[in-house]
Amino acid sequence: MKSFKKSLSIPIFLIAFTMSTQLLLAQKLTTTKEVAIKKLVENQSYIFYATSVTPLSGRQQFLTSEYTLDVAKDSLVSYLPYFGKAYAMPIGTTDGGIKFTSTKFDYKITLRKKGGWDINIKTKDVSDVQQLTLTIYTNGTSYLNINSTNRQPISYNGRISERKSK
């Protein structure tokens, strides 16, 4: 009976050791990812990749192409689709969507209570887009809401990642 208990205790010990090691590795990976996301947000240097869009009067649509919002200290470049009601469109434009480049904007970061950041961006040199509100969670998933003067509000789900070197 004693030999049975000893032979049973060794595999249980190995399983417990393996599980605790995997848990520690997973926690370490999570914290390194959180640190990397925090660095991107604080340095104001990241790209938001939209994976789905939800218009104000419609249902969620998943995106198959790459749509982005590129955030840098000196510029903000948007290449996002738009689905919804537009009240007015500038004369002579043929492309839809929310596509602009801004070099004059206010960027305000607020920490969230349960982790992550709320970022409010107000453009000063783009007449159609009033405000962009970006919520970034510690794992990199993000939510973007855009308020416009001539269109209904629209929101995007996605993730942020490091900007590509040019």
The domain ranges of the chain are 39-161
**Which of 53 and 164 is assigned the larger pLDDT?**
53
Cβ atoms of 80 and 156 within 8 Å: the answer is: yes
pLDDT-derived band at 47, boundaries 50, 70, 90: very high
Report pLDDT for 24: 47
Range of lowest pLDDT (13-17, 68-72, 94-98, 132-136)? 13-17
Q: What is the pTM of this model?
A: 0.76
Distance CA 87, CA 85 (A): 6
Report pLDDT for 158: 95
User: Residue 12: in which H helix or E strand, if any?
Assistant: helix 2-42
CATH code of the region 39-161: 2.40.128.410
Stretch 28-52: mean pLDDT, rounded? Answer: 84
Cβ atoms of 82 and 151 within 8 Å: the answer is: yes
Distance CA 148, CA 56 (A): 12
